Structure 1
């Protein structure tokens, strides 16, 4: 009951702050106060508006918000999100572009289960849709999953990826962003041994901790500083009575958000103070840059406790993937079994979460893969977010990834709006790792 009480206490504090913000905004917005020549009421209403929105977003799953794209024919094509596979802990979804023939490039975008929803990759999906058939792993909030659904750890996550890849077939290109990079590599190796015909054609790993010790960061050092007992005691709670997953052990989203915010506390505090000022002066809007960023950033989800703890214990502390000792469902996978899947790594020079060196370690693990099928790219000025969703992704990384996909397909894709040239295999792999 102690863990459940703590969970409900956090939700109570969040709910109270949301209520205080709404109350302050409503009270200070009464027309009668406009007769009083005091800016205090404007600032009070602004504080209330920003506070209510901030705490309300913490328990909302954002929409994808991708309604249409402009096709090659110059017309707008509506986007329909379809569920291909439905599972208790996550679905495989497809962004169907109505009125368009299926694209040759079929991409599975593996979203992280690290505190945010898959919608964090919204801009990544939007940028790929004009040129690819896009599938995404849409992980569920653990607080909404009944205890009867059972456990979900790193092995279950890997097997989910295996099933998704087998469902989509071998004519597939996989892009894993951040946290799932080592597990996606493991899923590919698992298929290489168990079902070689279901392997994807290419695998692109973006900013993931394949070898956390290659270049330690504050995130990886944290896993070293604390024991598993300390983590379980301080980070794990039981879902409270408000949600369907009541009683499930989780790493709460609100606790994760506190960790996220503390990493750049001064910058976040300044951003909120500045936003209150803009609201008070009538310069803010519903979808201004602040709201656009924080509506997504503040929307956090609970992780299954066993997934969080096994990630820390096996990926960060035990280095099972980095040392080629990872076991899935009783079978020790061998990354050397990957012989046909082209592998590319992407890293950001200013990434303070998965620093350069952590992801490229995947190429050394693939001992059975020829150098012609290995490639790596370092974006010098990009941080963690920028390598998959920012300007660096749009202008530099995305064209290289599409070229890599084309170079490792049976035939060139039907079209490539940003990269009209038809890349040859050697050209796309010109940055192959030695």
Structure 2
């Protein structure tokens, strides 16, 4: 599978389906066909519209779409997205609310690098902007990164997070969502040991696989069923000639999307059939619920092969974070070195990706942290998506996280003081 031909074949199939959709939509729009009262023509046009849009979105990075925000003064303020730190594989961006006094809460939202863009956290960002200065790790699509930029694995990811934390300063409140939770914990511990003056104020871990074996799921079982050789042979391809990253080994976004869709194939099939019928009846809108969800869900990015393989091997198979045996750049990270960064975990009772028990394991690893600086929350009835972007996040979890941040805002920094 590690050939450009297989990567280009997948892109060719995607492009062909987009073209077929566009063709069906155009043919159904011929004025002459309007004289033929055949519902199949209407259905064909609707099928073409939905198909073209779906396959087109697979290679387009979604816009953040956050242009204004209503603040506590009752006025709408423009939101300007500034790049604070620019790196080869990802940037640190700031949602700067123009004309508003700087908020005392400074939040670093660590987005997953798990197949979707950081824009997956759009609703999370929108919910936090009114009450905080929000920064986000905006990871780049590996297909657009030249081979000359080198590799990028979980150690490089951890070092990136450390650089971002240094840039933001010691009053930062870090929120890691899903996949980056174990690496964010490691980055915090590394800073606590080497540069305590740069460590964040609080760390909130949401639905992350700190200890994947604590409560096994289909995701963790998959990591145990296959060997690394099988995984590399089946999942890794080289970027084709169409993109700047030509020749780079990646886990392709289109291949990831196939895996995502197959897990709930019946539900997705039903959703698209219903959308085609809505378009046929003239009930669909450009930004209706279906399009809002799938415009984001179908937009996938390639992951560097080194990052994907090292995540499976070191986080899931070997459980290096869970065993407190993680090494970064030749240095063994001791999570017990975290002594005054308040840590909170959030889990969803119905999370079938990072099941309850996987994330809260972080608190047991923080052996140097007093109980007063540890907190956990299990959200009843919430699934994986709901704990960071759904109703459960908005109504219950977000207020608890902000309360946790405020409760630790004025806590003395012992580690920094002793280091000085």
Classify the TM-score, shorter chain: over 0.9
Tell me the secondary structure at the aligned position of residue 190 of structure 2. helix
Residue 182 of structure 2 is matched in structure 1 by 182
State the 1:268 CA deviation.
0.3
Instruction: Note if contact 2:123-2:389 (Cα within 8 Å) is conserved in structure 1.
Output: yes
- After the TM superposition, which residues 270-419 of structure 1 pair with which residues of structure 2 at under 5 Å, given as runs? 270-410=270-410
The superposition leaves residues 313-346 of structure 1 with CA deviations (integer Å, 9 ceiling, x where unpaired) of 0000010000000000000000100000000000
Q: Which residue of 2 aligns with 1:59?
A: 59
Written as runs of structure 1 = structure 2, the 5 A alignment for 1:9-408 is 9-408=9-408
CA distance in structure 2 between the aligned counterparts of 1:71 and 1:401, rounded to whole angstroms: 20
Q: Secondary structure at the match of 1:367?
A: coil
Deviations 1:79-121 (A, max 9, x none): 0000000000000000000000110000000000000000000
Q: CA separation in 1, counterparts of 2:249 and 2:55?
A: 23
For residue 23 of structure 1, report the CA deviation from its aligned partner.
Answer: 0.1
C-alpha separation between the residues in 2 aligned to 1:6 and 1:41? 35
Name stretches of at least 5 consecutive residues in structure 2 with no aligned partner.
412-420
Secondary structure of the residue aligned to 1:7 is: helix
Deviation at residue 29 of structure 1 after TM alignment? 1.2
State the alpha-carbon separation in 1 of the partners of residues 379 and 239 from structure 2. 40
- Partner SS, residue 186 of structure 1: helix
Distance 2:369 2:263 in 1: 38
Structure 1 segments (4+ residues) deviating >2 Å: none
Alpha carbons 2:340, 2:369 under 8 Å: kept: yes
SS of residue in 1 equivalent to 2:388? helix
Q: Secondary structure at the match of 2:3?
A: helix
TM-superposed CA distance for 1:239, in Å, is: 0.1
Cα distance in 1 for residues equivalent to 2:57 and 2:22: 13
1:2 CA displacement = 5.6
TM-score normalized by the length of structure 2 = 0.97
Quick check: 2:143–2:244 contact (8 Å CA) kept in 1?
yes
- Write the distance in 1 (CA, Å) between the matches of 2:17 and 2:74: 47
Q: Cα distance, 1:232 vs. partner?
A: 0.5
Deviation at 1:155, TM superposition (A): 0.1
CA shift in 2, pair 1:231/1:2, >3 Å: closer
Instruction: State the Cα RMSD in Å.
Output: 0.8
Alignment partner of 2:130: what SS? coil
The separation in 2 between residues aligned to 1:73 and 1:221, in whole angstroms, is 50
Normalising by the residue count of structure 1, what TM-score does the alignment of the two structures yield? Answer: 0.94
Name the count of aligned residue pairs.
411
Check the 8 A contact 2:2/2:249 in 1, yes or no.
no
5+ unaligned residues in a row in structure 1: which ranges? 412-434
The 8 Å contact of residues 80 and 96 in structure 2, kept in 1 or not, is answered as yes
Quick one: distance in 2 between partners of 1:396 and 1:388? Answer: 10
Q: Match of 2:32, SS? A: helix
Q: What is the distance in 2 between the residues matched to 1:196 and 1:71?
A: 34
Deviation at 1:270, TM superposition (A): 0.2
- The alpha-carbon deviation at position 380 of structure 1 amounts to 1.2
